[in-house]
Amino acid sequence: MTAGHDAQEWDSRYGGPERVWSAAPNAWVATTLRGWFAGRALDLGAGEGRHSVWLASLGWRVTAVDFSAVGIERARAGATEVGVGVDWVVADVRTWEPPAGAGFDLVLVSYLHLGEDVLARARGWLAPGGALVVVGHALRNLTEGVGGPSDPRLLATEAGYRAASEGLLVEQLGEVIRPLPQGDAIDLVLVARRPSGAANEAAGNAPVMKTDSGFRYALDVRFFEVDSLGVVFNMWYLGWCDEAMSAFMESIGYGYATLRAQGLDAVLRRAELEWVDSLEAFQHAEVAVRVEHVGTTSFRLGYAIERVASNINRVAGERVDGDVQAGHLRTRCAQVAITYVCVQIKGRNTVPIPAGMREALVADHG
């Protein structure tokens, strides 16, 4: 779906005897999403339904939106052939709104060149922990790739994707080469996730806290972070530390945007992790952050990831494993120490920590 092409034109294209697009999912989409825990998905500009049907076959509950009634009918027939159910919606994604209160664990936007305003609207439909996944033709494809729109205004740029994902945690943003028989196409891809703390924000509770015991980042274990037994994959503990680090740095005045404006970045150089106990799906947890060391070009943050249970009722003298603070039982699940190095974005050269940032870190350490 592309700006300047109306529904009638797409109806005509989809009305031919052959499919316009492949029935298989885009290779990058398949590689990125395969293995994610299935939840509720929204496919914007679904076309002939290749991604909607594929996602449904993996167990996702899919809503698919496209303004071509002919395309949706072809998609519906494909879903019937495979034996999966999809909620098909004939509507213009530029004006369509999901039902009130709906929250999606995945919003997929594949080659939908209608401007970043559509993506900006879509990010508001994400559930806490949900991901906006986008693939489109990169601007560089116009001069160095094959296929795609010829109007540069319709092509994707990193700046545009970043602006459209404001407020989300960007996990992947960059170009991907897509080999075609006539040459290589250059796509731009984005994976950006709504922080899990967004649920607390909606309820009026900040997901980050400055307390007498230091900085804490609250989270709820998300459905896609657990295995078939409902236990968190080990890799997500580092992911939570990254979320907590971003929030902590923002709290001391040196968040991502501030560092980028100075041409700097803080990159992970070394991580030490000790697992103590397990976390399971939908449990509440907090990541306590502390500054352990501040050097000239590097600093180390310590993280304590704790399961939190509230409204504790205990019989007098009963033994409880964990610390009880203000009616909350905290059980240590992992301890992490991560060293970050300050680098220039261009050249990735190691540089001294900016004076103001160093003062803020030292002050928090003290």
Each residue of 124-177: pLDDT tens digit? 999 888 899 999 999 998 889 888 877 888 898 999 998 888 888 888 899 999
- Within 13 A of 150's CA, how many CA atoms are on the CB side? 0
**Statement: the pTM of the whole predicted model exceeds 0.85:** no
Give all strands of the β-sheet with 87-90 in edge-to-edge order: 87-90, 61-66, 40-44, 104-110, 126-137, 183-193, 169-180
For 287, the token pair is: 């990541």
Cα distances (Å, whole numbers) of residue 106 to 39, 60, 77 = 8, 9, 23
Sign of the C-alpha dihedral, residues 120, 125, 127, 133? negative
Q: What is the CATH number of domain 198-365?
A: 3.10.129.10
Query: Is there a shared CATH topology between the 7-193 domain and the 198-365 domain?
Result: no
Each residue of 142-151: pLDDT tens digit? 889 888 877 8
Rounded distance between C-alpha atoms, residue 340 and residue 327, angstroms: 35
Q: Which residues pair with 79 in a beta bridge?
A: none
Q: What is the pLDDT along the chain (366 residues), one digit of tens a residue?
A: 444 457 777 666 776 677 766 778 999 999 988 878 788 999 998 988 999 999 999 989 999 999 889 989 899 988 999 899 999 999 999 899 998 878 899 999 999 887 668 898 999 999 888 899 999 999 998 889 888 877 888 898 999 998 888 888 888 899 999 998 889 999 999 999 887 654 444 433 334 444 445 788 888 888 788 888 888 888 889 989 998 998 899 888 888 778 888 889 999 999 999 988 889 888 889 999 999 999 999 999 999 999 987 543 433 333 334 444 444 578 999 999 999 999 998 888 999 998 889 888 988 765
Rounded distance between C-alpha atoms, residue 309 and residue 188, angstroms: 42
Residues 11/70, Cβ–Cβ less than 8 Å = yes
Residues 292/302, Cβ–Cβ less than 8 Å = yes
CB within 8 Å of 11: residues ≥ 6 apart: 68, 69, 70, 71
The CATH number of domain 7-193 is 3.40.50.300: no
CB within 8 Å of 56: residues ≥ 6 apart: 62, 79, 82, 84, 85, 86
Per domain, the residue ranges of the chain are 7-193, 198-365
